[in-house]
Amino acid sequence: MDILKGKVALITGGASGIGRATAILFAREGAEVAIVDINEKLGQSAKEEIVATGRQAIFIACDVTESEDCRQAVETTVATFGGLDILFNNAGIIRRADVLTTTEAEWDRVMDVNVKSIFLMSKYAIPHMEKRGGGSIINTSSGWGLKGGGNAVSYCASKGAVTNMTRAMAIDHGRQNIRVNSVCPGDTDTPMLHNEAIQLGQPEKEFMAEAASRPLGRYAQPDEIATTVLFLASQDAGYVTGTALVVDGGGLA
């Protein structure tokens, strides 16, 4: 339907999972897409998958915790496509541990990837959005950004920060016609979810069955989160800003 025709989107964590599904969907809906990730092999693969359909995409290798990397990712996107309209801050990691077993280095890494990256990417993207007359920023939070969860203290802290940071950004940048929202997925079938079972030392089959224990009786597929991000990026959500949109099969309910 080309909902995003004429738009330029930058997606962090775009090489796999929710980010990859969103990059492919955005391209299908007419956007020119910059896939930003630290994983070059998967990032190039995602780009090639889009280009093979006749749509426009680039891959940019980037450590989203590094200021200069983030600046260059934004500048490369703008230089390639002529501007920037949509920023999907999706890069994220999880450490399944409590306060006693989380190391200081692990805490810092989770906060850097999940929170600092949003600060950095937004800092460099917003001036370009303002030049285009506005834009949309979507930040990936979590159901655990709205409530607590066990053995995930750094992750819960980081996603709580993302949720409230989103609200603050929506207040600050509404006057520039920049909408800022967060999406709060429940358990989604991504490499990160499967890795949690390993971290917890739990059989994967048992862990995934627990992830499906919610009113809809299943965990999400990345495409189901991507369609929600598409809504927030599009003019269909033109009066939506500062919200935390939960997509979790009823888990929080």
Which amino acids are annotated catalytic? 155
Long-range contacts of 91-94 (CB under 8 A, 24+ apart): 91/12, 91/13, 91/19, 91/36, 91/37, 91/64, 91/117, 92/13, 92/140, 92/158, 92/192, 93/192, 94/152, 94/155, 94/192, 94/195, 94/196, 94/199
218 CB-near residues (< 8 Å, 6+ apart):
212, 249
Query: How far does CA 238 lie from the centroid of its chain?
Result: 19
Burial 2-12 (b: 16+ CB within 10 A, else e): ebbeebbbbbb
Quick one: three-class SS letters along 28-71? HCCCEEEEEECCHHHHHHHHHHHHCCCCCEEEEECCCCCHHHHH
